[in-house]
Structure 1
């Protein structure tokens, strides 16, 4: 029974290891920022290390050769190279600068370098939030006024008989006549005679 369970568990572990390896190999930054990309690849690496930990010497008398240390360094370099190769093309110069270093800096240091480049050259600079709010408010008010004007079906009307906007012929005082209590402006008084002639016609 235990052997059967162990066999099933081993198959599950190997299947997951295979999936993680494939995800790591195909992972690209794409639309992710550097922080999210780094977090994603680091999460996959941590799970992989849990399922397949790096070997350590278990001899009672520790060997003096550096074979395991070299293997661990190779493994660490693989993580750094994968992180750099998965970055977007805009980081090509930064990637090349890091890749010529010998030895390669730790992954955390590499991430810090790339992240700093992103902040200085790619991410938008900080702006005054109050200015953004004021601009957005003014823009919204103007758009509201435009929309309100467009919703008025009479706003676009231009009558051939008087050339005025915002009313129909049945409501035009030049056609139906002015009410006795209508107050004329100076400009309207000057045109009253022409309006009367238009009505008679």
Structure 2
């Protein structure tokens, strides 16, 4: 912190204006060039339901800027004749602007006219920092019923860690504060809490993590919750990769089967779609097929229901035509022969009989 000797007074008429020759960057009243009243220090906006989370976020942000002392009144207001007064007022107003930017509109209107940052901070604490017992009850109940379900490992871990950390914030466990303590009770309590936290996290995992869960439980020493999450995440990624590979193999096999069946169907369709009324076989001179697909020469094709059976006997086109012609011509020839015979002998009907 800068000492009073680093400040000097400059006379301006009847008014004395304090002037600073140099202000160290670690001075609590130092403001960076990027600091402005419109800054938003946290994305958590204070409502009536999230005071604990908002307070924790604001404490982290203000402490990083060395301004937490304005809300807890560690940086008291300097005396009226102090050269640091105007810089304290400047920083106090800056922190007040940051707090107003992080609360809802209704809450902002109720605290905007307060004079100091500490007054706003304490007013919000009295109004919204209610008893923790109901909140603790709901959080512990939610944590005891929390399971992975359809969530990924990352989503399940985030939800579990959020509930657990909020419980720790609302109900901090007592620790030994003795400076000369030799019982190492703090380290034992820390190890016990980590074991309870790890086992409770593993209890909510799905059944297909049973194998890796058993391997984690027999490790000595037990891994931390973060290390356990890393192991489970690798297992989940490996399962997804294996599933994708098998799925791709199934898709390829199905595609091959579909293409093969499609080609067979197209072959059958193309073979059956030929106009058989104009096709004449060069071998037997019959219609309905061609020589290259004549069953009597090449046998039945694979798609035919008689495939594998002996070749059929060929049918002669000439013999078929001759038989057809002889059948048609036989009655006429017989009648003509009878009439010629009857005409040459001049026999009567009675004689013929």
Matched pairs, number: 129
Distance 1:65 1:91 in 2: 38
Distance 1:87 1:113 in 2: 13
What's the secondary structure of 2:130's corresponding residue?
A: helix
What residue in structure 2 maps to residue 58 of structure 1? 177
What's the secondary structure of 1:102's corresponding residue?
A: coil
What residue in structure 2 maps to residue 43 of structure 1? 162
Contact 1:35 1:115 in 2 (8 A): yes
What residue in structure 2 maps to residue 92 of structure 1? 210
Residue 190 of structure 2: which of 69, 72, 80 is its match? Answer: 72
Residue 141 of structure 2: which of 6, 17, 22 is its match? Answer: 22
Q: Cα distance, 1:87 vs. partner?
A: 0.4
Q: Cα distance, 1:67 vs. partner?
A: 1.9
Rg bigger for which structure?
2
Q: Stretches of 4+ moved more than 3 A in 1?
A: 122-127
Contact 2:176 2:185 in 1 (8 A): no
Distance 1:74 1:104 in 2: 11
Distance 1:65 1:100 in 2: 28
Contact 1:55 1:68 in 2 (8 A): no
Residue 222 of structure 2: which of 94, 97, 104 is its match? Answer: 104
Distance 2:226 2:184 in 1: 24
What residue in structure 2 maps to residue 113 of structure 1? 231
Contact 2:153 2:233 in 1 (8 A): yes
What residue in structure 2 maps to residue 31 of structure 1? 150
Contact 2:143 2:160 in 1 (8 A): yes
Q: Cα distance, 1:71 vs. partner?
A: 1.5
Note the aligned Cα RMSD (angstroms).
3.1
Distance 2:221 2:174 in 1: 22
TM-score (norm 2): 0.32
- 1:9 matched to 2:130? The reply is yes
